[in-house]
Chains A and B, each alone.
Chain A
Amino acid sequence: MPEHSVLVVDDEPIVRESIRDWLTEAGYGVATAETGEQALEMVKTQDFSVLVVDLRLPGKTGLAVLEAIKAERPWIKSIVITAYPSSETAQEAKRLGAVDYLLKPFAPDDLERLIDDTLAAIPPEATVTTVEKAPAEAPVAEAIAVRETFAIDKKDLQSLYDGLAASAEVLGPKAKKGKFVFDRIKRFEELCLDYDVTVHPPANCLRPPHETLLTMKLGDVSAGEPVLDASPRVLFGVHPYDIKAIELLDEVFMTAHPDPHYITRRQNTVIIGVDCLHPSANSFASSMGTHQTETGFDLLLTDIGSAVMVTIGSERGAQLLAEYTGAREPTDYEIATQKTLRDAAVEDYKLHLDVARERLPKLLEDHYDDPYWEEKSENCLSCGSCIMVCPTCFCFDVKDEVSLDLKGAVRVRQWDGCMLSDFAKVAGGENFRHGKAARFRHRIFRKGKYVLERYGMVGCVGCGRCISACLPDIASPVEAFNAIAQRAKAESARRLISKVTPQPDLYAPQPAKLVRVEALAENEKVFEFRFDNGDSLGHRPGQFVEVSLAGIGEAPISISSSPTREGSFELAIRNVGNVTRALHALDEGAQVGVRGPFGNGFPIEALEWKDLLLVAGGIGLFPLRSLVQYVLDRRDRFGRVVLLCGSRSPKERMFTDELSEWKEDPGVEFHETVDGGDASWKGNVGVITTLIPGIDLSPAKTMAVVVGPPIMYRFVIGELKKKGLADEQIVMSLERRMKCGVGKCGHCQINGVYVCQEGPVFTLAQLRNLREAV
């Protein structure tokens, strides 16, 4: 039976009933009357603490009711409500004993707060509270350690609550209109720990819908003062999937640019988890691996009926347990019961992901253009309900609110999200994520792919709230994931194993004849080959082939000649291993095997119509020569061509005839250097980087292509950056161990990239994301 009862007097049924509903929900006993006469009859026979009365009533007015109450029941506290305020009636109402005055329309919270305040002002004997003191000494306090599980009696939950509520706001699950909400818990009895899911997630206590970031003065940007909320809170009864969601928010807001507003709130929040033993029909948490958790809480409770199991997740949790409960070692029976209940809960999930979570990013990636997004989002209301109830959504908008004197302002942030139509719209009017389908896809991609890739944690915890909230029934991530998985399955079924055509010569080399061989330097020779069947190689500059000799093996060799020089191709080869040694021993007329060409080659399309700075160090000239020849053969398709060549010594200069030609060519600005000279050398001496400062470039229209030993790259890149080239404008070819050439053997991998497929040519921008590349 509620402690306090309230009498509501209003002739308008909608007002009367609304107030009755709000206050009943807030835990008060409520009676209503339509007229003043009726109200006065009721106070004669029933006990009320508070009277809420409208001023304009048919018959006896509100003021007359106040007067009568003051005379007959002076202990009843009265609150006046009216839509027609005037200072005279306000004063009169006060004189007649009204404690306060509320203008219609008002929010439920305002009335509730007023009644709370009014009741708080009533002398203490009227409200009897029994706070049980927690036992001074917990039996196993000293033995308590993080991650250990203890048992407590059920009544200990009340002392835990009382202890926490004494110094912090406690929020937790409570029943409301047949659902559960995560809300302020004013009395322990309101707390309902056996629930399926709350309509809104507890994460909202950490990233609230609106919050003030800064207070500011207009015209003085420097005066912005951060506003932090350090009030202590306890989230009492958080399910594991919601704990996992908070762990994701921690990752987002507490790493890389730590967010002071979130962190302040987070550091002042205690999380008491509770196992979800009766999952909601829309939950698929067990599929997302979030139905249980071992981290992210201070304490985690499992109600096993006869007692409550408590797992400690933090020092703070251990202290709370020792201070407020009589924690003891659980019995074997209790441990077994906890396991049985948890296992049974797993069986209760109705919705399941039909595919392993880890496969989601790839599956989604492969179905970016699937018609599913368009079809499914047809009925989307763009109402944002799915993202507004989501515990892992965290996007927001920032705006200024100004005071009427136009002197002060606050900068506030408010929830925003990718399902709302204007989320990606800029001031100029362009909307960068236009259309329901694109927005729908983006949300599902965030949940299954983007967030996972960015934060290492799955972006959907499977709580199922969006499924409940979506009116046209389209928001379900698990349905989208399963639909895409289904399509992938259908596609692979269509790709019947028996229908796949093998590439019979995948590993079988094509015979080619060595038509010319010429020494370049002590250990290097250039070989010219022609296919026996007259085919051309059909390569792009910068690609490579696998050259093989039966019984010796295969080696990856970059192609040194341009495809513009038809009929044959040239491979310049340094003698360094078994295959190259055997190749060096060949005479003209010998036969070798060739597979390829492989790899991407230089990005000709990106180089055309640009100024080129080509830099070759040592045998980097071998692959770069194919590009130089190509550019010279199509000279009109390129701007300025600056070519820099470096060798270790004059003796190690290679393709010397061609170097001389290039030097003479009016279409090429040719510069050459050697690291160390000798008596015969009349040219530049110094490493190749020394050539760069002297060259005048137009950074906006220049592409640099650099090929050389790894050590050279770092220094050349440094010089190019000084010249103002962006990462996208610097192209490099990488050497790796390429064995199969067809993206299978794995030798050439740089992180996730196969150099023989996506390489060997990369821009510096691409390499920035490949940690193994440098």
Chain B
Amino acid sequence: MSNEPKPEENQSEEAMKARLAALTAALEKQKDPKPDQEALEATQRTGRAMSLGFRVLSEFVAGIIVGAVMGWQFDEWLGTKPVLLIVMTAFGTIAGFWNVYRIAAAPTGPQARDDKRSGS
């Protein structure tokens, strides 16, 4: 190889370098859809958080209501007003807390199955 590259080789090398730079820039731009991906994941997280919130609220309130209604009905049957209403409402409140505990403490279906599959 001569020390001085010929002018034609010089030009083609520069052309190649220019094409390489353009290609790298295009690849960098392709990797950029990250902001969209992050926005999508943020919406999904909000959605999951909201659905969890609705579930917790409705399960808690439903526990209390069911306890109160059951207590009231048993009172009508057995004529023990208002003892059973009070007692069953208290139990209903405990059941409401129990529902919320089950939602918070136990992992939901897919994770639990993954744990089982990985043999934990």
A and B pair up: no
B-binding residues in A (CB < 8 A): none
